[in-house]
Amino acid sequence: MQTSVLEKYCDARLPWYTIYPTVAQFSTVVGAEACEKWLQRLPVNESVSLYFHVPFCRSICWYCGFARSITRRDSPILEYLAVLRKEIELVGAQVPQRLPVSDVHFGGGTPTLIEPAQFGALMELLRRRFAVSKTAAIAVEIDPRTFTLATSEALAAAGVNRASLGVQSFDPIVQKAINRVQSEAQTERAVEMLRQHGVIRINFDLIYGLPNQTVRSCVQTATTAVAMRPDRLAVFGYAHVPSFKKNQRLIDEATLPDSPARAEQAAAMANTLIAAGYRQIGLDHFALPDDELTLAQKAGRLRRNSLGYSADTCHKVIGFGPSAIGRLGDGYVQNEVEAGSYSDQINARRLATAKGYCLSLEDRVRAAIIERLMCDFEVDVPAICITHGFDPVPFLGSPERLAMLAEDGIVEVAKGFIRVRQEHRFLTRAVAAAFDAYLGAPLC
């Protein structure tokens, strides 16, 4: 049954619904002028989140699907930081003075390639331009292969309190196949340095569905990760899209597991982590019982954003750096993806917004329904519609798709309340797709 429904609902081809509508709906109709107006409208008494994209790595990982540049030199990073500072000043001039901030995230790329002194100076600028809360969550993504003691000290001094370590797999055969050779000792050393300096909230990123990966190697990776006791783990499925990401063409497609094998790997990793005391959060996150994600899930306030699952209560995100996505009150905005174009715009004293999307009232209702499905595996459609002042009938998704999902035993539907059955939660994206007005043909 699992194999047949995977094929029927084309789960691998569906959006991950970290945001809705998805980036595919973004348009150049929404540009810098719209972004400027939306920034100016941000309420001065509501906290926002800040996201910084640092697009540099020392070497290329063949599986990577993010916007990044490979550099062995520090000069491109220093040049980028100069532009980033200008963008912070530009945005800071548009938003209400000292806008409150409760969450900061540095992603990449490899943000820890920023020299310690430069990172400290960047955080000082942020605190001058924004009212960063003393209790703010400040997170940084880390590549353990290039992480140093000096960087660990700098992160702690700058107030960083969460680190997300890229691991992917501890299997040396898989590592070689994706051009990311990273020893267990390197990861352990990074974790130890962080904890010694007070950065005690640790996340690991793992991936299944990689070349030469097996259920056994997935379990071994999860077991090795558990021994280091990170607070959270994100377990993502590898998305092979070589037509969009040229570096993925270096991966031998013949070594990739098929859909049933991927599902088996995901289940094996989940079972390993749950047996070790972690709670499953949504589709692909796992957290210790006292972690903020677990507490947010229990309280029914788990969120879904462009970084995945979050306990952050902010409804607005300002994105900085090339390709960064922000969500402002009126809609989504995305910066220029190419670093050169991004720099040109900022150096010309213009916001680097390349495209975006203006949210309609209907979009907001559909987004709320999809978010609850992705977070809770159930949703009260009439309750959400009434909250937004809408008749629930038009928002019950595609009747044909919902009926088919119910007929296949994937969901239970009663008076507009939809629940994904426990054994079919891996198909939650297919259920969410029933509420996606822009997806097009619902089935293959």
CATH number for position 259: 3.80.30.20
If you average pLDDT over residues 354-372, what whole number do you get?
Answer: 96
If you average pLDDT over residues 3-22, what whole number do you get?
Answer: 78
Based on the fold, state whether residues 391 and 298 are members of the same structural domain. no
Residue 398 has a pLDDT of: 63
Residue 229, Ramachandran bin (φ over 0: left; ψ between -120 and 50: alpha; else beta): left
Based on the fold, state whether residues 294 and 373 are members of the same structural domain. no
Among 320, 353, 387, identify where a domain stops: 320
If you average pLDDT over residues 323-335, what whole number do you get?
Answer: 97
Based on the fold, state whether residues 48 and 156 are members of the same structural domain. yes
Based on the fold, state whether residues 313 and 218 are members of the same structural domain. yes
Percentage of the chain lying above the pLDDT 70 cut: 96
Residue 93 located in a structural domain: yes
- Total domain count, the chain: 2
**Domain with 386 in it:** 361-435
**Residue 68 reports pLDDT greater than 50:** yes
The rounded distance, in Å, linking the Cα atoms of 42 and 316 is 9
If you average pLDDT over residues 334-351, what whole number do you get?
Answer: 97
Could you tell me the two tokens for 5? 């429904």
Give the tens place of pLDDT for each residue, 97-149.
889 999 999 999 999 999 999 999 999 999 999 999 999 999 999 999 999 99
Residue 10 located in a structural domain: no
Residue 242 located in a structural domain: yes
Give the tens place of pLDDT for each residue, 209-259.
999 999 999 999 999 999 999 999 999 999 898 988 899 999 999 999 998
Could you tell me the two tokens for 432? 């969410």
Residue 89 has a pLDDT of: 97
Residue 325 located in a structural domain: no
The rounded distance, in Å, linking the Cα atoms of 118 and 373 is 41
Give the tens place of pLDDT for each residue, 33-61.
999 999 999 999 999 999 999 999 999 99
Q: What is the DSSP letter of 115?
A: -
Residue 412 has a pLDDT of: 96
Upper half-sphere CA count for residue 287 (Cβ side, 13 Å): 20
Using pLDDT thresholds of 50, 70 and 90, give the confidence band for residue 444.
very low
Pairing of strands 285-287, 303-305: unpaired
Residue 78 located in a structural domain: yes
Based on the fold, state whether residues 143 and 287 are members of the same structural domain. yes
C-beta of residue 74 within 8 angstroms of C-beta of residue 115: yes
Based on the fold, state whether residues 50 and 117 are members of the same structural domain. yes
Alpha helices in 165-291 (DSSP H): 172-178, 184-196, 215-227, 259-275
2-9 and 259-275 are packed helices; what angle lies between their axes, rounded to 10 degrees?
120
The rounded distance, in Å, linking the Cα atoms of 148 and 160 is 15
Closest CA to 6 of 439, 429, 434: 429
The rounded distance, in Å, linking the Cα atoms of 295 and 416 is 27
The rounded distance, in Å, linking the Cα atoms of 285 and 167 is 14
Based on the fold, state whether residues 97 and 202 are members of the same structural domain. yes
The rounded distance, in Å, linking the Cα atoms of 415 and 83 is 53
Residue 443 has a pLDDT of: 46
Closest CA to 282 of 315, 252, 304: 304
The rounded distance, in Å, linking the Cα atoms of 197 and 161 is 10
Residue 338 located in a structural domain: no
339-347 and 75-94 are packed helices; what angle lies between their axes, rounded to 10 degrees?
50
Closest CA to 218 of 161, 276, 283, 171: 171
Helix, strand, coil percent content, the chain, rounded in steps of 5: 45, 20, 35
Q: What CA–CA distances, in Å, run from 284 to 237, 266, 350, 426? A: 9, 9, 38, 9
**Residue 441 reports pLDDT greater than 70:** no
Based on the fold, state whether residues 301 and 206 are members of the same structural domain. yes
Alpha helices in 130-258 (DSSP H): 149-157, 172-178, 184-196, 215-227
Give the tens place of pLDDT for each residue, 146-204.
999 999 999 999 999 999 999 999 999 999 999 999 999 999 999 999 999 999 999 99
Could you tell me the two tokens for 285? 């996150």
The identity of residue 246, as a single letter, is K
What's 430's domain CATH number?
1.10.10.920
**Residue 410 reports pLDDT greater than 60:** yes
The rounded distance, in Å, linking the Cα atoms of 132 and 399 is 46
Using pLDDT thresholds of 50, 70 and 90, give the confidence band for residue 13.
confident
Based on the fold, state whether residues 304 and 415 are members of the same structural domain. no
Alpha carbon 21 to chain centroid, angstroms:
15
Q: Is 298 exposed, middle or buried (0-12, 13-18, 19+ CB in 10 A)?
A: exposed
Residue 429 has a pLDDT of: 92
Residue 4 located in a structural domain: no
Q: Is 97 exposed, middle or buried (0-12, 13-18, 19+ CB in 10 A)?
A: exposed
* Count of CB atoms situated within 10 Å of the CB of 327: 24
- Average pLDDT over all residues of the chain: 93
Based on the fold, state whether residues 34 and 152 are members of the same structural domain. yes
Residue 414 has a pLDDT of: 92
If you average pLDDT over residues 359-384, what whole number do you get?
Answer: 96
Residue 104 has a pLDDT of: 97
Residue 105 located in a structural domain: yes
pTM for the model: 0.93
